[in-house]
Amino acid sequence: MHELLFETASRQDFTFWSMDSNSNIVVVTGFGPFRQYLVNSSWEAVKELSKRGLGKNIDLRIMQLPVVYQKAKEQIFRIWTTLHPILAVHVGLASSAKAIIILEQCGKNKGYEEMDACGFHPEGGCCMLDGPEKIESTINMKTIWKNISVEGIDIIFSRDAGRYICDYTYYTSLYYGSGRAAFIHVPPLSKSVTADSLGKALQTIILEMLKQGGEQRE
State the catalytic residues: 104, 166, 185
41-52 vs 195-217: helix axis angle to the nearest 10?
Answer: 70
Spatial distance between the Cα atoms of 26 and 86, rounded to a whole number of angstroms:
6
Separation CA 44–CA 31 (nearest Å): 9
**Rounded Cα distance, 192 and 183, in Å:** 23
> What are the beta bridge partners of residue 158?
104
Pinpoint the alpha helices (H) of the chain.
Answer: 41-52, 69-78, 141-147, 165-176, 195-217
Residues paired with 104 in a beta bridge: 158, 183
d(CA 30, CA 199): 12
